[in-house]
Amino acid sequence: MCWAGRTMLGTFSILLVLAQAAAACEFGPFPYRATGIVCRMTKPAALLCKLNQETAQVIQAAFRNAKFPNITGERSMRLLGRVAYGLSNIQVNDLSIQRSEVELKEDKAIHISIKNVTALFKGTLTYGYAGAWFLQLFHSVDFEIESSIDLQLNIDLVCQKDQVSPDASDCYLTFHKLTLHLQGDKQPGWLKQLFTDFISFTLKLVLKREVCKEINAVAQTLTNFILDLAANFVRDKDIIVDISLASDSVIKASYIESHHKGLVLYKNSSSVLSDSVFSPSLLTESRMLYFWLSEHSLSSLAAAAFLDGRLLLNLRGEKLQVIPRAIFQGTSYNDSVAKVWSLTQPQISLQPEGTVVRNLVAVEVSILLAGEEPLVSLYMEKEITATIQATYAEKKLILQPVDSRLIKVFKCTADPSGEDPSIQSFLKNMILVAGIPEVTSSIGSALTSLMNSKRLDLFDIINPEIITREGYVIVQLDFGFPSHLLLNFLEKSW
């Protein structure tokens, strides 16, 4: 999910979201037993450049959107008497950042260093003085201030009301250059020298305060925005995945990792997990982003989908060609519909070979007659097991059965006795060769549509891998973030 122009804010935002989760709140002595979902974001060499570019864009937004107050002051000058001044309408123009660096301080904070921020500030200078002979003079001129600044930012992680949020108030600005120009005059003069000398210190304090305040606001805004996106992504109508923290999360020198409950909430019921098999050693650091999901979380999702009546599929048209014509009683398969649904909650087991699904399903083929009630020409109940491997390519989730077995046919109107070998052979062929592949393909398409409705298709997902192991699945990938979503949000927020 090249990067430079299209994904300037994404990784910084995800870093803030992980930071939001990655601090020490109290969860008890057993760190991972209630962990159903884990998210790890690494910092490989390939990520550094992209993260730096995106961070720079966020800092630029903070500078441009900082609200600088009017600056006033006065000073007694020999011969001139008391000199009063005011700087108003201060705004930033022509801002550029040469480079930025990001460092993960283990178990502490995210350190961001922004080097050589060149900014041109513009505004109006008003000044007046009362001389020894009580002669009062007041003037107003436009000014420009050329500056070169280094920014040091430490995002600390704090717990607030059972939630962890980033605190970016540890912020320092170092000025290497601060030059005042009056009315576009680039030549030194006594007036410019006078005001540069005694307002520069005040100006530095104001710039630091307002810019750092804006950066902290940006961090909070982006965190809340991405958390809202995440909460929406794991919710669909009455089915909700609880992504609240399950254990202390960590910041290491090479990755940030957050641990979430992953419990499935359906209406007034919730799953329970207390024996998670997660260990940090199960994830590596070669890819940009990792998701670890427990078998319990996936099984609970399947159970909720069953209870919500979602495990039902209607097949029409050419998809019915595998059914013998005798079933259609002289009509075309185009005039029929096959309904497939789950009679029991699917049993799911994650294994190295894939996701093993065992379930009791029903199949009903109905002939649609004009002006009449549908005529059921075939009904059967069967227990099946299928091992399914999942891949994600071209913004589509693809489910492929690699091993399917018909355990038993419990009921079949075409062979009530269950002893006709030709019908039994047909049923086995129809189910294993055509039925299960068609059902899994349709489920993959439905899940793709659901994920895309949550805007997953806006991400550039690079070389994703879905790896099943006993009791869990790992999704690992590189990615690009849809920066225009954040840019639009920031524009509306400011």
pLDDT of residue 325: 72
Distance CA 288, CA 312 (A): 36
What residue spans of 292-404 are helical by DSSP H?
A: 295-307
Mean residue pLDDT of the chain comes to 78
What distance lies between CA 175 and its chain's CA centroid? Answer: 35
Token pair 């087991």 is at which residue? 349
According to the per-residue pLDDT averaged within each range, which of 115-119, 146-150, 155-159, 430-434 is highest? 146-150
Distance CA 80, CA 90 (A): 27
Tokens of 146: 């050329």
pLDDT of residue 263: 92
Q: Measuring CA to CA, how many Å separate 363 from each of 137, 413, 439?
A: 95, 11, 11
The residue ranges of DSSP E strands in 327-374, in sequence order, are: 336-342, 347-351, 354-367
Residue 232 has pLDDT above 50, yes or no: yes
Percent share of the chain, pLDDT over 90: 22
298: left (phi over 0), alpha (psi -120 to 50) or beta: alpha
Distance CA 218, CA 208 (A): 15
Distance CA 353, CA 390 (A): 11
pLDDT of residue 54: 56
Q: pLDDT per residue over 36-86, tens digit each?
A: 999 898 875 334 444 455 556 666 777 777 788 888 877 776 666 677 788
How would you class 384 by CB atoms within 10 Å of its CB: exposed for 0-12, middle for 13-18, buried for 19 or more? buried
According to the per-residue pLDDT averaged within each range, which of 1-15, 95-109, 312-326, 339-353 is highest? 339-353
Cβ atoms of 287 and 301 within 8 Å: the answer is no
Q: pLDDT per residue over 355-386, tens digit each?
A: 999 999 998 888 887 778 888 888 988 999 99
Residue 23 has pLDDT above 50, yes or no: no
What distance lies between CA 308 and its chain's CA centroid? Answer: 26
Cα radius of gyration rounded to whole Å, the chain:
32
pLDDT of residue 20: 45
Weakest mean pLDDT among 4-13, 95-104, 233-242: 4-13
Tokens of 184: 């576009």
pLDDT of residue 158: 62
Weakest mean pLDDT among 242-251, 296-305, 413-422, 468-477: 413-422
Q: Is the pTM of this model over 0.85?
A: no
Higher pLDDT, 251 or 45: 251
pLDDT of residue 355: 96
Mean pLDDT, residues 13-17: 45
pLDDT of residue 341: 92
Tokens of 355: 């996701």
Residue 228 has pLDDT above 90, yes or no: no
Higher pLDDT, 168 or 184: 168
Higher pLDDT, 115 or 48: 115
Distance CA 137, CA 473 (A): 77
Mean pLDDT, residues 128-148: 69
Is 447 strand, coil or helix? helix
Mean pLDDT, residues 315-326: 76
